[in-house]
């Protein structure tokens, strides 16, 4: 596993554990979400998008659970860019939650876009921010794709 795409390293807290003694389902999503926020901060985008009134939104979040995580375990969370629309309006990110024994415990895939928080409409990142965002480490199957055709009748 490459270390340059680790954006969160943390200990699993008691409050994150379910009645079965392992990490609760929603905590996996929380860990991946924090890693994505950390990516924006690492790229210098977190404060800039807030100034512009732009926020990331998700259309889809898919979690695949592979191995148990228990209280006090140490985990690392990676973030990699899988897809990016050429106009900078949409993206897909993949996170892996990895235990200290290097076992991948879960994979989280999100499909997202950018929302103009004032107009409440989808938007693209400004070009300079797109250049920063595209610096996120890539998956092996990374792809830039064109804007879908307008299918309005």
CATH of residue 100's domain is 3.10.129.10
Mean pLDDT to the nearest integer, 71-76 = 97
User: For residue 87, is it within any domain?
Assistant: yes
User: For residue 86, is it within any domain?
Assistant: yes
- Quote the distance between the C-alpha of residue 23 and its chain's center: 19
CA separation for the pair 141, 82 (Å, rounded):
7
Q: What is the pLDDT of residue 1?
A: 41
Q: Which 8-state DSSP code applies to residue 70?
A: B
User: For residue 153, is it within any domain?
Assistant: no
Specify the pairing of strand 104-116 against strand 80-85: unpaired
Instruction: Tell me the sheet residues that pair with 112.
Output: 58, 91
Average pLDDT of the residues of the chain: 93
Write down the pTM of the prediction. Answer: 0.91
118: containing domain: 3-145
CA separation for the pair 139, 56 (Å, rounded):
20
Number of structural domains (the chain) is: 1
Dump pLDDT digits (tens) for 86-99. Answer: 999 999 999 999 99
* Count of CB atoms situated within 10 Å of the CB of 107: 17
CA separation for the pair 59, 123 (Å, rounded):
14
Dump pLDDT digits (tens) for 140-149. Answer: 999 999 876 5
Q: 39: closest CA among 85, 5, 74?
A: 5
User: For residue 150, is it within any domain?
Assistant: no
């Amino acid at each position: 596993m490459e270390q340059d795409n680790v954006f969160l390293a943390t200990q699993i807290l008691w409050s994150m554990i379910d009645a079965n003694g392992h990490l609760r389902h929603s905590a996996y999503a929380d860990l991946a979400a924090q890693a994505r926020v950390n990516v924006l901060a690492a790229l210098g985008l977190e404060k800039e998008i807030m100034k512009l009134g732009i926020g990331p939104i998700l259309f889809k979040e898919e979690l695949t659970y592979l191995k148990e995580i228990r209280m006090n375990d140490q985990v690392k969370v990676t973030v990699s860019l899988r897809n990016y629309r050429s106009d900078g309006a949409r993206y897909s990110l993949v996170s892996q939650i990895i235990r200290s024994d290097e076992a991948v415990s879960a994979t989280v895939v999100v499909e997202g876009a950018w929302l103009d928080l004032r107009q409440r409409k989808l938007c693209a990142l400004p070009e300079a921010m797109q250049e920063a965002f595209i610096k996120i480490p890539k998956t092996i199957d990374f792809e830039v794709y064109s804007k879908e055709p307008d299918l309005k009748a």
